[in-house]
Amino acid sequence: MNISGTTRVLGIFGCPVSHTLSPLMHNTAIEALGLDMVYMPFEVKPDNLADAVNAIRALNIVGVNITIPHKKSIIPFLDEISNDAKLIGAVNTIVNRKGKLIGHNTDGGGYIKSLGSELGFNVKGKNVLILGAGGAARAIAAGIAKGGACRIVIANRTVERGMSLADGFRSLFRDVEIIATGIKEKSLMRYVPDADLIVNTTSAGMNDKGGVKVPLKAVSTNAVVSDIIYKPRITKFLRNADKLGIRTHSGLGMLVEQGALSFKLWTGYDMPKDIVYKKLARKR
Ligand code: ATR
């Protein structure tokens, strides 16, 4: 990588950021396309967030990704928020347009794109069961509702949290049936057999610890079981589904597709996704 006097800067703000694969992903794309850019990790403590946002303007940084714990708290510091970011209530990408900072969210769109590109799966008219009701579930639910799903069931350990997410989305997507339920087997059994897509958005199963308990034997033969966790690439949940011959979808695709949408917003270029995907898959 050649850094010169003309090199433009991209990056990611988070705390911690040491675990992130985004620098590898974007720098691989930058190198493959021969762009005069570099993508840097910036550990930004919550107390320094306002200063960090001002630094985007002061240093003329092209744009940044935003990750834990700043996705919501960054919103008041921005000049404009895209419709998707408003709907999700969180920002994962900032674009610097001549000092005007615009917040976007590419998580939901990236998820839908990866289902399409990897499996040819379209959510239109489908029944979807989402496990979890946190920030990631909100982004995925937004993508799925916008994609024209027929029914979305939000199953969460804390049922009230699922209800609040379902209530908010019901008023925005009147054509989609939106239901909240618990995550215990008895609650899931009501919805698993009819589900075309079951997606785990909870952190259970990350780093191969624990995992969600879904009655996989009741899953329909045409359904897809998906996990947005990408560490490990194939979670126990996906391994168990795969053993039963169910089609599976891992979190790496969503990571690359949300990154590709951000990359396009910053650079105007299509990310060379095959090269990036291979690099990330080899890394882990
Ligand atoms: P994120 O932004 O990654 O979605 P989050 O907002 O903290 O993170 O949400 C984490 C989600 O994982 C929640 O749905 C949480 O359930 P609760 O709302 O009941 O806390 C879910 N979760 C975390 N650990 C879990 C576990 N061991 N079993 C089931 N659900 C779990």
CA distance 122 to 263: 23
Instruction: Fold for 108-249, please state it.
Output: Rossmann fold (3.40.50)
* Residue closest by Cα to atom 27 of ligand 1: 204
CA distance 66 to 69: 8
pLDDT in tens, 4-43: 999 999 999 999 999 999 999 999 999 999 999 999 999 9
pLDDT at 155: 98
Percent of the chain with pLDDT over 90: 92
Ligand 1 atom with the smallest distance to the CA of 157 is 19
What share of the chain has pLDDT > 70, as a percent? 100
- Report the separation in Å between the CA atom of 132 and the middle of ligand 1, taken as the mean of its atom positions: 6
Judge contact between 103 and 85, C-beta under 8 A: yes
pLDDT digits (tens, 9 = 90+) for 113-136: 999 999 999 999 999 999 999 999
Distances (CA, A) of 107 to 60, 90, 187, 216, 218: 25, 10, 27, 26, 29
**Residues carrying an active site annotation:** 71
Is residue 131 in contact with ligand 1, taking CB distance under 6 Å?
no
CATH topology of domain 8-105+254-283: Rossmann fold (3.40.50)
pTM: 0.94
Domain segments of the chain as ranges:
8-105+254-283, 108-249
pLDDT of res. 205? 78
Query: What's the average model confidence in pLDDT over 210-215?
Result: 87
* Any atom of ligand 1 within 6 Å of the Cβ of 204: yes
Q: Which of 111, 157, 209, 212, when mutated, tests ligand 1's pocket best, judged by the most ligand atoms within 8 Å of its CB?
A: 157
Which secondary-structure segment (H or E) carries 30? helix 22-33
| Average pLDDT of every residue of the chain | 96
3-state secondary structure 228-247: CCCCCCCCHHHHHHHHCCCE
The verdict on the CB of residue 233 being under 6 Å from ligand 1 is no
Residue 284 is predicted with a pLDDT of 60
Residue 204 has a pLDDT of 86
Q: Mutate which of 107, 185, 202, 235 to test ligand 1's pocket (most atoms within 8 Å of Cβ)?
A: 202
Average pLDDT for 252-276: 97
Mean pLDDT in residue range 67-85: 97
Distance 237 CA to ligand 1 centre (A): 15
Q: How far is the CA of 161 from the centre of ligand 1 (A)?
A: 10
